[in-house]
Structure 1
């Protein structure tokens, strides 16, 4: 039987890598930002038609986006909030 990494752990590892720390060193824990059991269960089904098209939430200074197939994108808030710095 092949074991697969949970989606929430995948997210924590991506952010920890960007921060240059171990996953267990991230504060606060990810479950303060999102229900990790619910997130993981959304993407455990093999039928991608039944899953959400996208889940997005903020955690630890990042905007986390998970697409329909479970691919994770992590962006700093500033990049997500200010794509063009123009003065009106």
Structure 2
């Protein structure tokens, strides 16, 4: 995610790091900006947000990068991002 960016580009692509924070905040019943230490762990403790975003970012020619799936633990949830960029929590 670019500094100063809201995590959504002009094509409507949402950065997975932002989608994860939004999903966990929703599950916790808080606003995404309230999902911060000390009450909640930083996303950086679970995964490198920039690397996560690059993994799912559209290719330079604008086509999606499909074919991967990532799972990790964050804020007591098992977070999974599927090949379409959909975030699920368990």
Report TM bin, short chain: 0.7 to 0.9
Q: CA RMSD in A?
A: 1.4
2:2 aligned with 1:12, yes or no?
no
Residue 89 (structure 2) aligns with: 74
The normalised TM-score by structure 1 is: 0.73
1: CA distance, partners of 2:65 / 2:46: 26
Q: Highest CA radius of gyration, 1 or 2?
A: 1
Consecutive unaligned residues in structure 2, runs of 5 or more: 1-9, 59-63
Consecutive unaligned residues in structure 1, runs of 5 or more: 76-88
**1:24-64: CA deviation from partner (whole Å, max 9, x where unpaired):** 22221211110000000000032324xx2x10000001000
The normalised TM-score by structure 2 is: 0.71
Total equivalences in the alignment: 72
Query: Greater strand percent: which structure?
Result: 1
Residue 6 (structure 2) aligns with: none
